[in-house]
Amino acid sequence: MTLPTGLRRALTFWRRSIQARVVVSTLLLSAIVISAVGWLLLQQTRDGLLRHRVDIVVGEVEAEVADTRDRLSRAPGNEVNASQQRADLIDPIIEGGESRGYGVVLGGPEGSPADLADGGAQRTSGLEIESVPGSLERHFDGVNRSTAWTYTEIVRTLPDGSTEREPGIVVGSQVRLPADAQTYTIYFLFPLTEEEETLGLVTRALLTAAGLLLVLVAGITWLVTRQVVTPVRMARRVAERLAAGRLQERLLVTGEDDLARLASSFNQMASNLQRQIRQLEELSWVQRRFVSDVSHELRTPLTTVRMAGDVLHDARRDFDPVTARAAELLQAELDRFETLLVDLLEISRFDAGAAVLDVDDINLLDVAHRVVDFARPLADQRGVLVVVEQPDKPVRAQADARRVERILRNLVTNAIDHAFPDDTDRPIVVRMAADEHAAAVTVRDRGVGLAPGESAMVFNRFWRSDPARARSSGGTGLGLAISLEDAHLHGGWLQAWGRPREGAQFRLTLPRRVGTPLRHSPLPLAPVDAGAPAPEAPDELPAEADAGREPRQGVTS
């Protein structure tokens, strides 16, 4: 699934910015702490307001009930009309409640089947009976019950017929009516409007303070991280310039703190690296110049020695056996010495950056057949079979035919050198394939193979996996190094895979058109017949594929 461009950029910024991660992480932690503290403060404020309100309303109810009982106790003795006495009981309470903002409900006599839901209860105008919770009613289902309270939702019917609901506290208390000797329950319903407003005000104040505190924390965190991250970013930019070859770049040192001392140490390190790199460059230049001069200077005496050696080699039949053998050895070593000089001159051209391509549209199958025909005498001498697999379609590329042929010749002769002698059951196989963007050739042998880590060293100059092993082809030790440079000159890859006693496989990948960057290879590097897990796609390579790979420039393989 492809992410939107904005989200992808945001994720990239998040991964790369330490400052953003520190600021956001600090804000999240601060928000969690502030939220927890704010919630705790709100809970404590709410509980305190409610406790205070409960104490007030319970005291007010007890005072009202005490006044009512005192008033009933002073009633005339001949007052026997229970209805009139009940009206004298509740009407003053209802009128006082309306003036002081609370509602009153008078329940029927306890012990009788009547209850509040029967509709006979007296109450403040507009107040609904459902405002009294059933749990409180059940508490007063009897006589001589103590005063009790609970939270409730007060429901009122407005003059326009709509219903209004608000939180409140209901307090119940019992009064005995002398006229009929019955016990009645009076419910006082007090709204919590003022407490709600106070709690809302406190909540808004806490939210405002939390927002300002988060902004302050974000600002402080951003400022602190900026003071730390800015020098680090400057050091990164200078390090990138140093890596790009601008060795004169240095950090600006201000102050005497730890960051300033770090910048001074960084500058000192850069100066030491610059001095050592220049020394190495001078030494490398001297070495390359020495190799080039020696190679050129040796050609003249080598030509003279070659002429004398040819004369001795042609006349070896007239010599005694020891002298004839010496003439043959001289001729063989002269051939090897001449090949070494040619390779050294080629390496010096690569080192000097003087190597160029003679590009043409070539058929890699024809090149592979020429190489195999050239190497067949050596393969027959070793008792090894070399096979070229016919591709499904033509494998063509724009390349230098001479250099590509030299690469394949080095790979095939190297495979013959490291194959087991007289092993015709496991031939050396040359495969090739191409797609729209790349062409590839693999050379697979089943010889001694490569130990772990050797696939990264096999392209080093004069490196040999087994120094005691004889070279059947008389190689110079520079063949694979030259082949790697030839592959890089094309913008291609030359990579190696191997396992001990399971053989090795080398893969050459070239772009179909010169200048086109490589992004994958049409052939896998790890051979399936060696028991290695086949990659899911040609460009998903195992760890051994890094051998011979160019430095990454936005291209993966």
Q: Tens digits of per-residue pLDDT, 98-128?
A: 777 777 887 777 655 555 655 556 778 888 8
pLDDT confidence of residue 542: 37
Q: Is residue 235 part of a domain?
A: no
Quick one: 443 and 472 in the same domain?
Answer: yes
Q: Comparing C-alpha atoms, which of 6, 10, 30 is closest to residue 20?
A: 10
**174-214 pLDDT, tens digit each:** 888 877 777 888 889 999 888 889 999 999 999 999 999 99
Q: Is residue 21 part of a domain?
A: no
| pLDDT for 432 beyond 90 | yes
Q: For the domain that residue 173 is a member of, what is the CATH number?
A: 3.30.450
Angle at 401 between CA 470 and CA 551, to 5 degrees: 75
Quick one: tokens of 527? 């051979």
Q: Comparing C-alpha atoms, which of 166, 153, 191 is closest to residue 50?
A: 191
How far is C-alpha 482 from the geometric centre of its chain's CA atoms?
39
d(CA 503, CA 428): 10
pLDDT confidence of residue 545: 38
Query: For the CA atoms of 222, 227, 233, 238, what is the dihedral angle to 10 degrees?
Result: 160
Quick one: 314 and 365 in the same domain?
Answer: no
| Number of compact structural domains in the chain | 3
Quick one: tokens of 526? 């790890």
pLDDT confidence of residue 296: 67
Buried b or exposed e, range 225-245, using 16+ CB within 10 angstroms: beeebebeeebeebeeebeee
d(CA 308, CA 292): 25
Quick one: 319 and 376 in the same domain?
Answer: no
Quick one: 477 and 401 in the same domain?
Answer: yes
Quick one: 397 and 478 in the same domain?
Answer: yes
Query: For the CA atoms of 192, 197, 202, 204, what is the dihedral angle to 10 degrees?
Result: 140
pLDDT confidence of residue 550: 40
Quick one: 364 and 410 in the same domain?
Answer: yes
3-state per-residue secondary structure call for 31-65? HHHHHHHHHHHHHHHHHHHHHHHHHHHHHHHHHHH
Q: Is residue 13 part of a domain?
A: no
3-state per-residue secondary structure call for 427-482? CEEEEEEECCCEEEEEEEECCCCCCCCHHHCCCCCCCCCCCCCCCCCCCCCCHHHH
Q: Comparing C-alpha atoms, which of 474, 479, 492, 339 is closest to residue 409?
A: 479
Task: Provide DSSP, 134-187.
Answer: HHHHHHTSSSSPPPEEEEEEEEEE-TTS-EEEEEEEEEEEEEEETTTTEEEEEE
Angle between helix 5-16 and helix 18-73 axes, rounded to 10 deg = 100
| pLDDT for 338 beyond 80 | no
Q: For the domain that residue 305 is a member of, what is the CATH number?
A: 1.10.287.130
Using DSSP, state whether 362 is helix, strand or coil.
strand
96 forms beta bridges with: none
Quick one: tokens of 351? 């080192």
d(CA 301, CA 149): 120
pLDDT confidence of residue 443: 93
d(CA 190, CA 97): 9
**477-530 pLDDT, tens digit each:** 788 888 898 899 889 999 999 888 888 999 999 999 888 888 889 999 888 776
151 or 356, greater pLDDT: 151
d(CA 98, CA 156): 13
493 forms beta bridges with: 509
End-to-end, the C-alpha distance of the chain in Å comes to 22
Quick one: 502 and 474 in the same domain?
Answer: yes
**434-482 pLDDT, tens digit each:** 988 999 999 999 888 888 878 878 888 777 665 545 455 455 678 888 8
pLDDT confidence of residue 387: 92
**368-420 pLDDT, tens digit each:** 999 999 999 888 888 899 999 989 888 999 999 988 999 999 999 989 988 88
Confidence of residue 267 (pLDDT cuts 50, 70, 90): confident
Quick one: 86 and 112 in the same domain?
Answer: yes
d(CA 441, CA 433): 7
Of the residues 350, 378, 408, the one at which a domain ends: 350
Q: Is residue 81 part of a domain?
A: yes
Of the residues 328, 350, 372, the one at which a domain ends: 350
Quick one: 524 and 387 in the same domain?
Answer: yes
Of the residues 332, 350, 368, the one at which a domain ends: 350
Quick one: 337 and 396 in the same domain?
Answer: no
Using DSSP, state whether 388 is helix, strand or coil.
strand
| pLDDT for 426 beyond 60 | yes
Q: Is residue 343 part of a domain?
A: yes
Q: For the domain that residue 479 is a member of, what is the CATH number?
A: 3.30.565.10
396 or 298, greater pLDDT: 396
How far is C-alpha 39 from the geometric centre of its chain's CA atoms?
35
Average pLDDT over residues 352-357: 75
d(CA 86, CA 92): 11
Q: Comparing C-alpha atoms, which of 145, 195, 188 is closest to residue 170?
A: 188
Q: Is residue 40 part of a domain?
A: no
Confidence of residue 557 (pLDDT cuts 50, 70, 90): very low
Task: Note down the domain range covering 266.
Answer: 258-350
Quick one: 460 and 485 in the same domain?
Answer: yes
d(CA 369, CA 388): 7
Q: Is residue 119 part of a domain?
A: yes
Angle between helix 258-314 and helix 321-352 axes, rounded to 10 deg = 150
Quick one: 462 and 332 in the same domain?
Answer: no
Long-range CB pairs of 207-215, under 8 A, 24+ apart, other chains included: 207/38, 210/31, 210/34, 210/35, 210/38, 213/30, 213/34, 214/27, 214/30, 214/31, 214/34
Buried b or exposed e, range 100-128, using 16+ CB within 10 angstroms: eebbbbbbbbbeeeebbeeeebbbbeebb
Q: Is residue 29 part of a domain?
A: no
